[in-house]
Amino acid sequence: MDMEQQLNINGHAGAAVSNTEAIIEVKNLQKGFDKVPVLRDLSLQLFENENLVVLGKSGSGKSVLIKCMVRLLIADSGSIHIFGKNVQEMNERELAEVRVKIGFLFQSGALYDSMTIKENLEFPLIRIKKHLSRKEIDEKIEEALHNVGLSDTINKMPSQLSGGMRKRASLARTIVVDPMIMLYDEPTTGLDPVTSDEISILINNVKKTYNTSSIIITHDIECARATGDRVIMLDKGEVYMEGSIEEFEQSTDALIQSFFKIRQPSSTKAQTHHG
């Protein structure tokens, strides 16, 4: 089965490989906590202007994977190259340079509690884009909040927002600095279907407008369908399958079916509703 899947992937990604090079290249990554391995021998690539969806059961190490990419966690072994440079071996200045180019949406949102939404967005903006004028900063903030549908919460504190609003606000904080690589950790979890769809559209728009490459971690198959150019399934700390959404949906593998089929009824319902 593995061979077949492998072939599928190469068939699918072949076009992308030939004319672009990997922006992020993870090779044989291993990471464990207190001797319990979480990621074992994980390899993947992210190509230019591509949305890569990462699926996997809860606790399979998806968040750990992207945290290793920005060196919030230090891998035990293996390598992560971003723009051709090994993240593990960078000094602080190089690391800061790379981090500026990466937008990171935390699973928990991670909004700064002590600041208003506006200050939350301003915080990375004035530190990363130092040349902007006051007016440009305000405009960018308004635009980003408008994109996530939160224009009227600009002066509220995070504690005054609902869970979904916090998630969107932190998405706005991530995109406001126009990063070249986006790492979304479950961007649509906890959102209603309508807002989820809007977020998926937003993710696609970000990709189109700024030519970003993104890794989208999600459990939301609708979001994966809407945004994913390529899908990777993690299991037990390794890549279980890699391919296009269609290949995943047609797969006869039990684990993959369980991921896709459970949600089937709700998606058909949604379709009939639309129709």
Ligand X SMILES: Nc1ncnc2c1ncn2[C@@H]1O[C@H](COP(=O)(O)OP(=O)(O)OP(=O)(O)O)[C@@H](O)[C@H]1O
35 binds ligand X per the rule CB under 6 A:
no
Smallest gap from residue 129 Cβ to other proteins (A)? 11
Task: Return the bridge partners of 105, or none.
Answer: 184
Binds Mg ion by CB under 5 A, chosen from 6, 107, 204, 257: 107
d(CA 161, CA 19): 44
- Our finding on whether 124 is near other proteins (CB under 8 A) is yes
Residue whose CB is less far from ligand X, 18 or 58: 58
Tell me the closest approach of the beta carbon of residue 237 to other proteins, in angstroms.
Answer: 19
Is the dihedral angle over the CA atoms 230, 236, 237, 238 positive or is it negative? negative
C-alpha to C-alpha distance for 5 and 11, rounded to whole angstroms? 10
2, burial (CB in 10 Å: exposed 0-12, middle 13-18, buried 19+): exposed
- Which amino acid is present at 99? R
255 binds ligand X (CB under 6 A): no
166 contributes a contact to other proteins by CB under 8 A: no
Which listed residue (75, 102, 191, 202) binds other proteins by CB under 8 A? Answer: 102
Choosing from 5, 63, 213, 251, the residue that interacts with Mg ion (CB under 5 A) is 63
Q: Pick between residue 98 and residue 203 the one whose CB is nearest to other proteins.
A: 98
Which span sits near ligand X by CB under 6 A: 52-60, 112-120, 175-183, 265-273? 52-60
Is there binding between residue 107 and ligand X (CB under 6 A)?
yes
What DSSP letter does each residue of 103-163 carry, written as one string?
EEE-TT----TTS-HHHHHHHHHHHH-TT--HHHHHHHHHHHHHHTT-GGGTTS-GGGS-H
Q: Which does residue 124 bind out of Mg ion, ligand X, other proteins, none, counting CB within 5 to 8 angstroms by kind?
A: other proteins
Residue 152 tokens read as 């009227």
Site string for other proteins, 37-76 (x = CB under 8 A): ------------------------------x--x-x----
Give the separation between CA 8 and CA 26, rounded to whole angstroms. 20
User: 41: phi > 0 → left, psi -120 to 50 → alpha, else beta; which?
Assistant: left
Sign of CA dihedral 146, 149, 151, 153: negative
Quote the least distance from Cβ 214 to ligand X, whole Å. Answer: 17
| 251 is a site residue for ligand X (CB under 6 A) | no
- Pairing, β 181-185 against β 102-105: parallel
- Contacting positions for other proteins (CB under 8 A): 67, 70, 72, 96, 99-100, 102, 104, 106-108, 110-114, 123-124, 127-128, 177
- Contacting positions for ligand X (CB under 6 A): 33, 38, 56, 58-64, 107
- Contacting positions for Mg ion (CB under 5 A): 63, 107
